[in-house]
Amino acid sequence: MMRLPPIKGEWIDRNTPVDFQFEHTAYTGLRGDSITSALAANGLHIFGRSFKYHRTRGFLSAANHDVNAMMQVSANGRSTPNVRGDVTRVASGWQISAVNTRGGLHKDRFAILNRLSRFLPVGFYYKAFHSKRLFPWWETMFRTLTGLGAVDLKSAHRTTPKRYDFCDVLVIGGGPSGVSAALAAAEQGAHVLLVDENPALGGSGLYAQAGDPSIAAATEAVCARVLSHPRIRVLLSSTAAGYYADHWIPVVTPEAIVKVRARAVIIAQGAYEQPAVFRGNDLPGVLLASAAQRLMYRYSVAPAQRVAILTANAEGYAAALDAVSRGLDVIAVLDLRSARGTDSQALADELTRRGVRLVVQVEPVEAIVGRTGGVAHLRYRVGSTDTTLDVDGVWMSVGFAPANALLHQAGATMRYDVALEQFLPDRLPVGIYACGKVTGHYSLAARMSDGERVGISAATRLDQTEPAPSPSALLAIRECPNHPYPIFAHPEGKEFVDFDEDLQIRDVINACQEGFDSTELLKRYSTMGMGPSQGKHSNLNALRILAKVRGDSLTEHALTTARPMYHPVPMAHLAGRGFMPERQTPLDADHAALGAVWMPAANWRRPEYYAIPGVSREAAIAAEVHAVRHGVGLIDVGTLGKIEAHGPQAGEFLDRVYTARYSNLKVGMTRYGLMLDESGVIIDDGVIARLTAESFYFTTTTGNSATLFREFGRLATWWGLPVGLVNLTGQYAAFNLAGPRSREVLAPLTEMDLSDAAFPYLAVREGHIAGIPCRLMRVGFVGELGYEIHLPFDAGLDLWRMLLESGKAQGIRPFGVEAQRMLRLEKGHVIIGQDTDGVTNALEIDAPWAIKMDKPFFIGQRSLAILAKQPLKQTLVGFKLPASATDRPRECHLIIDGDRIAGRVTSVGVSPTLGHVIGLALVDPTVANRGHFQVRIDHGELIEATVTPFPFFDAAGARQKIGATP
Amino acid sequence: MKIMTCPINGPRLISEFAYAGEVKEMPDPATASDAVWADYVFNKNGPAGIKHEWWCHTPSGVWFIADRDTTRDIILRTYLYSRPAAGAYAP
């Protein structure tokens, strides 16, 4: 292989050499070279090893699908795996090695697998894992053998921006049809974005010339008009990686993903040339004719000196003329067909004039490897006569598969056209268009006129809601570009259908015979098309074999839809920051300074307890409980949902939402609220305070605040109640000052009258504490005299610190969620979501005082009326263990009645106040009524618990109402 | 990503919206039989087809109704909720 003389349009810069290393050897390429074109210019033809059998491989497509030429590239202190060697431009200083080898490309120790291939039947992977005993052994082996490049964990962090873009018409593919479509759409006034994966526009219009420069000139003329058009923007070296709903296309550029929203999308992605399947079709030197054309025109590299071209269409003859015009020796053009088409014949006549040997009715027998590891001979058969040619290159041009993955994803339906031997779009979704080879147009003139027609259609139908009438009606097919069955089995195999996964003809046939004889099953069982090129060069041939085995036609089959993103995307492009907010109350830093041990609470974090050095968790929590019961404690409850409801019908609204009555609540008072869903299941609770005749302030549980606030809006809309709802959750801080001495702590800081007469139990007052406007609610949150203080977020930290300072004399202690739970458990206060679950209805927690069935309406009321006629399935009961008990049940331990589960523990702990285990449990009422039940604890032991009424402590509630003696 | 048109804020990304189930007219709790009520509470309109649903544009809190064809994944129409005509039960 060697560098050819300069030619117009080549991508290389002959004045700028590029020095790099491949497999620890130094080479020099030119700026603009791909990794493999540079290697080829240096005379190399082996670039990598295949995935399964570790066979040596060279070029296949030179168009982003040479998955056996993927490289590990080290440069600038970063090692990047799985770099596509066939399209990635090489740069100075790169150290490159092939990815899938052990011991280097030429001394790959796993090359032995090539000889073991008959012991690796199709479905080997699944068959291996049948044995449970051998599973670990196989797993280790597969993990060792498989895999491609190595991820460099020490690589520096790289940030990748996300960008957004908008256009009227997005054209995907910058070949002759794509540039024509872009230009036509822009001429209609549309703003066009044109995306192409190559570093230059033009596609095959620039490299498939049939030796005639006028073809490239015609393409270039359109490209030049596109590049200078004020309404066309062009993104090169960029891949449209998927189609998402409503024309939302991620375009992967080298630097970032651009999320493009288009009003119309034109798919002009052309077609992937398909290999012929015959023995040795994977040898280095056997490649697609289009790959050879790309190398000759883009990089001016001769992929061979003596070429045999295996063809079944006019494109193969055109490639032969390209080879001849670039000075290569075409040994023979071997046509699989019995007769040439009209386009082929014209080109064949020209080849004959130039002395090229032409043969028809050819059946390839095998490509044979030579001493250099590349192809050295091609044996073919005509009739019963075998001929062997001495060559160093075999080019295949037997047909194409349309690049229609995005059409599939967009929901287009396809049909197999028998005359063209190709899948064509049948019905296109609204705003989706296709042109060029995708719609079966192969000549340059046909592609350009198809593109122009579709470009006009897309631009002039931008906001129509019906799909375009139909894809392009096919122009008369002068010559079919696709061979119906370019597949030639050999008794010794090694005819490769899938180059990514090393699948041979017999693998496909065996999979079918084992029963996996539909597209989807065949794919999954054989791994056909599951390699890095995602079947772009294998799915169609596999489908042809499948149809042959089944004795039907491709019209009976469909190709699978490649899932987006259908071309590999670097993980860095997909990675990004999380969008789940983490919320903090204003006291967060002070909690940490106080030794908070955190626990998650919805989007927030809350102190579980405050650690004391040298003291156990249990003791620290017990100390917090003790402080609240006998002195005073302070807890941050700023995570609660905090909502205001305003308007003359705000009371009625709350009457409908909650089970109790609020329209009769006196101004300045609060009332507990229990919220049900329509089936009577408890979903939330809170405290509702009436501030004025027409305004209420109320709380929801931490986890439900956002969704409930939203639901309140829906209910107000549905019910037609004009209620003004304000979500103050993030605007207000809140804490609860609780304990017999809480009034002593608060009094010095405020001029408000805190006496029982002026500020009784369950009252709400607005006033100032230390000059800060506050709302205070005297609620029995933990069963002691207590004040829940709500105040502007910004002032929260100041007042928190002042209260802790003011309370020093009273021994004030901050307390966390665990102490709060125990304090509430002692009082038998039900925690929604802990003592209830997603099916617990309001009758089962035995709180008739909270449910006003005589109201006209509340959510869940009608269902409760039905449930009230039925026996309870479960009921919430209290239980206790004697102080002497050493075994402890835990939350969710099961209550066992004989051989059945009769319930579960919902809350449990050793009460520091009472000195023994107390808990709540949801239990079958018949079991609870016996007065005792058995709990299966860790390790399976059963322990006896005694049912006991709750509250466990201060059942009359005297402490919270009038305060206890400290 | 799909686009949904909020009747107040116009077309926005679907990620800005929240779904809240189908629009079901509530039977009069005072007169409905237990069976009718249970049907209202528990039975959903399952088959694929045209659905009338509650949706919320979450940044603005606008609630509205969307008619969707789930067989084609198309939003047919979005509009603000209006109360049932006189005579029908309005909760």
Q: In this complex, is the C-beta atom of A464 within 8 Å of any C-beta atom belonging to chain B?
A: no
Asked whether residue A73 carries a pLDDT value surpassing 90, the answer given is yes
Provide, rounded to the nearest whole percent, the portion of chain A with pLDDT above 70.
99
Give residue-wise pLDDT tens across range A825-858. Answer: 999 999 999 999 999 999 999 888 999 999 999 9
| Structure-block tokens of residue B70 | 């789930």
Least confident of A155-159, A628-632, A958-962: A155-159
Please answer whether residues A765 and A668 qualify as being in contact, where contact means their C-beta atoms are separated by less than 8 angstroms: yes
**Homologous superfamily of the A871-966 domain (CATH):** Aminomethyltransferase beta-barrel domains (2.40.30.110)
- Give this prediction's pTM: 0.87
pLDDT value, residue A232: 98
pLDDT value, residue A504: 95
Q: How many CA atoms lie within 13 A of A910 on its CB side?
A: 16
pLDDT value, residue A476: 65
Ranges of each domain in chain B: 3-79
Binning pLDDT at 50, 70 and 90, where does residue B23 land?
very high
Amino acid sitting at position A507: D
Binning pLDDT at 50, 70 and 90, where does residue A470 land?
low
**Domain A496-570 annotated CATH 1.10.10:** yes
Binning pLDDT at 50, 70 and 90, where does residue B45 land?
confident
Q: Which residues pair with A211 in a beta bridge?
A: none
Q: In this complex, is the C-beta atom of B63 within 8 Å of any C-beta atom belonging to chain A?
A: yes
| Structure-block tokens of residue A882 | 């004697």
Give residue-wise pLDDT tens across range B63-77. Answer: 999 999 999 889 999
Higher pLDDT, A308 or A151: A308
Residue A230 CB partners (closer than 8 Å, separation 6+): none
Ranges of each domain in chain A: 2-128, 162-272+401-460, 275-398, 496-570, 640-800, 871-966
pLDDT value, residue A566: 87
Asked whether residue A440 carries a pLDDT value surpassing 70, the answer given is yes
pLDDT value, residue A966: 67
**Nearest to A346, CA basis, from A371, A314, A378, A384:** A314
Q: Which long-range contacts (CB under 8 A, 24 or more apart) does A754-760 make?
A: A756/A962, A756/A963
Please state which of the four CATH numbers 3.50.50.60, 3.30.2270.10, 3.30.429.10, 3.40.50.970 is assigned to the domain occupying B3-79: 3.30.2270.10
**ipTM (interface pTM):** 0.97
Closest chain B CA to residue A429: B72
Give residue-wise pLDDT tens across range A178-189. Answer: 999 999 999 999
Q: What HEC string does A395-429 produce?
A: EEECCEEECCHHHHHHCCEEEEECCCCEEEEEECC
| A678 with B41: Cβ contact below 8 A | yes
| A710 with B58: Cβ contact below 8 A | yes
H helix or E strand, kind and range, residue A295: helix A289-298
pLDDT value, residue A78: 87
3-state DSSP helix/strand/coil % of chain B, to nearest 5 = 15, 40, 45
| Structure-block tokens of residue A264 | 């119309």
CA distance A706 to chain B (A): 10
B34 CB neighbours in chain A (<8 A) are 866
pLDDT value, residue A300: 97
Please classify residue A763 by burial: count the beta carbons closer than 10 Å to its beta carbon, then call 0-12 exposed, 13-18 middle and 19+ buried. Answer: middle
What's the mean pLDDT in B19-44?
A: 94
Residue entry with tokens 């040479």: A66
pLDDT value, residue A887: 86
Measured distance CA(A869)–CA(A182) in Å, rounded: 71
What's the mean pLDDT in A78-82?
A: 90
CATH number of A640-800: 3.30.1360.120
| Structure-block tokens of residue A163 | 């960008």
CATH number of A2-128: 3.10.20.440
Give residue-wise pLDDT tens across range A375-393. Answer: 999 999 999 999 999 999 9
| B81 with A718: Cβ contact below 8 A | yes
Please answer whether residues A698 and A662 qualify as being in contact, where contact means their C-beta atoms are separated by less than 8 angstroms: no
pLDDT value, residue A475: 60
Measured distance CA(A338)–CA(A79) in Å, rounded: 52
* Phi, psi for residue A96 in degrees, rounded to 5: -120, 140
| A711 with B1: Cβ contact below 8 A | no
Asked whether residue A1 carries a pLDDT value surpassing 70, the answer given is no
B56 CB neighbours in chain A (<8 A) are 710, 713-714
Give residue-wise pLDDT tens across range A782-832. Answer: 999 999 999 999 999 999 999 999 999 999 999 999 999 999 999 999 999
Looking only at the bridges linking them, the beta strands covering A670-676 and A724-727 are unpaired
CATH number of A275-398: 3.50.50.60
Asked whether residue B87 carries a pLDDT value surpassing 80, the answer given is no
The DSSP output letter for A658 is B
Binning pLDDT at 50, 70 and 90, where does residue B88 land?
low
Please answer whether residues A644 and A825 qualify as being in contact, where contact means their C-beta atoms are separated by less than 8 angstroms: no
**Nearest to A407, CA basis, from A247, A167, A522:** A247
What's the mean pLDDT in A525-543?
A: 92
A257 CB neighbours in chain B (<8 A) are none
pLDDT value, residue A657: 97
**3-class state of residue A766 by DSSP:** strand
Measured distance CA(A918)–CA(A828) in Å, rounded: 10
Q: Which long-range contacts (CB under 8 A, 24 or more apart) does A447-450 make?
A: A447/A175, A447/A176, A447/A177, A447/A180, A447/A205, A448/A176, A448/A177, A448/A180, A448/A218, A448/A222, A449/A180, A450/A177, A450/A180, A450/A475
B83 CB neighbours in chain A (<8 A) are 720
Please classify residue A545 by burial: count the beta carbons closer than 10 Å to its beta carbon, then call 0-12 exposed, 13-18 middle and 19+ buried. Answer: buried
H helix or E strand, kind and range, residue A80: strand A78-84
| B20 with A714: Cβ contact below 8 A | yes
Asked whether residue A562 carries a pLDDT value surpassing 90, the answer given is no
Q: In this complex, is the C-beta atom of B81 within 8 Å of any C-beta atom belonging to chain A?
A: yes
CATH number of A162-272+401-460: 3.50.50.60
Rounded to the nearest angstrom, the gap between the alpha carbon of residue A825 and the centroid of all alpha carbons in its chain is 43
Binning pLDDT at 50, 70 and 90, where does residue A596 land?
very high
pLDDT value, residue A963: 73
DSSP A450-503: HHHHHHHHHHHTTT-SS--S-SPPPPP-SS--S-S--B---TT--BEEETTTTE
Residue entry with tokens 């206890």: A964
Give residue-wise pLDDT tens across range A756-769. Answer: 999 999 999 999 99
Please answer whether residues A309 and A334 qualify as being in contact, where contact means their C-beta atoms are separated by less than 8 angstroms: yes
pLDDT value, residue A739: 96
Greatest CA separation found in chain A? 117
Q: At what angle do helices A289-298 and A314-325 cross, to 10 degrees?
A: 30
Binning pLDDT at 50, 70 and 90, where does residue A637 land?
very high
Closest chain A CA to residue B29: A862
Peptide bond into A853 cis (omega under 30): no
pLDDT value, residue A471: 60
Please answer whether residues A844 and A928 qualify as being in contact, where contact means their C-beta atoms are separated by less than 8 angstroms: no
Output the average pLDDT for chain A: 93
Measured distance CA(A661)–CA(A655) in Å, rounded: 5
Say if A2-128 and A496-570 have the same CATH topology: no
Asked whether residue B89 carries a pLDDT value surpassing 80, the answer given is no
Q: Residue A110 to residues A22, A122, A329, A527: CA-CA distances in angstroms?
A: 20, 19, 36, 20
* Phi, psi for residue A459 in degrees, rounded to 5: -75, -30
